[in-house]
Amino acid sequence: MLEKATIVRPYAEAAFSQALEEDKLSEWSAMLNLLSTIVHDSDMQRVIASPKINADELYQFIIDICDNKLSQSGKNFVRICVDAGRISLASEISVLFEQKRSTAEGVSGVDVITAYPLDENQIKEITKSLSKRTGNKININIEEDKDLIGGVIIRVGDSVVDASLRGRLKELNNVIAQ
């Protein structure tokens, strides 16, 4: 079976291309976020999986739920996803679309995981440093994880900097084990 990312990529790229063509990235973000929210609902997942509902009924049901929040091209996108049996992947499509949008807009998403809360100065310093390093604006997401003991883990795209005490203890344990 194909990996989800392989299945999702063409749909996210098509949505992104259409959004660029229309010059409506934020509108498409909102539409895909709405679809993601709808298909994430457990009742809706049962409806999507039901063999009693055909593609036309499912399409119309989703369009009715969305009310007037979808453009005509957004409705067409829903039609394509429903007909292909991929509407349940709307959340993954939305995530990949947002990644492409951030790249196009020169924004890097950064996850910072800390053992203790960061003050404003620390957040500004991390943001400034990463902005300088990546050449992009930084959209920072901060989480606390008491299991880190101390330090910080920073994720930028595929890169991870683990400067946590937990990470250092694991490294030390690996060295000792050899």
Q: Which domain holds residue 22?
A: 4-102
CA proximity to 116, closest of 154, 150, 165:
150
pLDDT tens-digit readout, 18-32: 999 999 999 999 999
In terms of domains, do 59 and 144 share one? no
Q: Is the model's pLDDT at 110 over the cut of 90?
A: no
pLDDT reading at 145 higher than 70: yes
- Angle between helices 25-40 and 72-83 in degrees, nearest 10: 40
Sign of the alpha-carbon dihedral angle for 24, 26, 29, 33: negative
Query: Environment class of residue 24 by beta-carbon count within 10 Å: exposed (0-12), middle (13-18) or buried (19+)?
Result: middle
Using pLDDT thresholds of 50, 70 and 90, give the confidence band for residue 8: very high
Does residue 75 sit in the same domain as residue 9? yes
Q: How many domains does the chain have?
A: 2
Q: What is the pLDDT of residue 116?
A: 86
Q: Are 64 and 79 members of one domain?
A: yes
Q: What is the pTM of this model?
A: 0.69
Average pLDDT over residues 21-47: 95
In whole angstroms, give the CA distance from residue 114 to residue 67.
41
